[in-house]
Amino acid sequence: METIRTNEKAALAGGFETACETVVEFSYPPAGSVKGRVLGLLLQGERLTHRDCWLRFASSRLAHHIYILRSIGWPVAMLEKSVSTTDAGRSAMVGEYWLPASVIQAAGCTGVEYARRCAAIREGRGHHE
């Protein structure tokens, strides 16, 4: 796991409009890994399902990525929700994962910079979301 440190000035220079403070030092997987890019999206406030992970990262292992993120200290929330399938409209229960706003805020400048690095890697791989 890599440790990322940044400061408020660096975050502000990158376009973050309000001051941020890193309250909690979390562990971060490598930004180029699927786990890292999943975390980057969660830090941006996105909610992800298995389908999102498949479409964005060609990975069918979102639950595993979340398991690993939780094991290194990220309190990822999950809610089961019903979705319609392509199987004649049959419904299925899927997990939707996200980081609570308080966790994103606690990650502060470090989280902002990490999410930016993950986004740059996604863009560098030609992915347009």
Tens of pLDDT, residues 89-101 = 899 999 999 999 9
Q: What confidence category does residue 126 fall into, taking pLDDT thresholds of 50, 70 and 90? A: low
Q: What confidence category does residue 128 fall into, taking pLDDT thresholds of 50, 70 and 90? A: very low
Whether pLDDT at 39 is above 90: yes
d(CA 58, CA 50): 10
Class of domain 8-124: mainly alpha
Give the pLDDT of residue 19. Answer: 59
Give the pLDDT of residue 4. Answer: 41
Domain ranges of the chain: 8-124
Contact predicate 95/63, CB 8 Å: yes
Average pLDDT value for residue range 26-39:
96
**pTM for the whole structure:** 0.79
Residue with tokens 């400061």: 7
Interacting residues of 50 by C-beta distance below 8 A, sequence separation 6+? 60, 62, 63, 94, 95
Computed over every residue of the chain, the mean pLDDT equals 85
